[in-house]
Structure 1
């Protein structure tokens, strides 16, 4: 079982499946959302994910004109797991407390959109657009 929470501990979650591949999204939307080069996430089955505390502390922001949305803690602003599709939750790896010990970056997506200043220095497979592109 994997567990995680926001910076202040107001929001918590657990995942009842083994975590594996880390995906790093380098698109401009994720860069602006995080204020960094992108976001590292694990994709998990929604049926295996559950909030354990603080659901009332979760704020969701939808990008106008897009299906994309992000969640964050109302108190500390930490990025939280989100569900930009019907099957999976995308869990920011940085919010994991337990279950991240052996994770490695397997894929970089939207590499064609990455910031000019960013260098990818690991062995993760690079995809010009979304996974599989």
Structure 2
């Protein structure tokens, strides 16, 4: 497993993450020094405190990518597309193994019940106006 982290792709990613983490450290020190100069402000102090957080987030992403790669190698992660699956296996069997996920609500809400003129005359008039617009739009299409 650890051998996969030494591929050219991963070596480039390791270098990128190391450079990004070191860069955020240098930027934090630079903003800290700027905050303590005569022209420094609270904005510089804020940036000096933010850059270490960006560095910590970079390390978090690095670890997350490594864990995702290990999980994919163990077969825990589903392939992104059906083209990634073996040609010998059918997509129907791959779909049947995964439990169905159903929406908890429909994509389009159900229509509202019609409103009588006795209940709300303004709303009924507005609904008639919208229905007329819909009919005229359907005639022009």
Q: Place the TM-score, normalised by the shorter chain, in its bin.
A: under 0.3
Structure ranking higher on relative contact order (CA contacts 8 Å, 6+ apart): 1
| Structure 1 length-normalised TM | 0.19
Greater percentage in helix: 2
Greater percentage in strand: 1
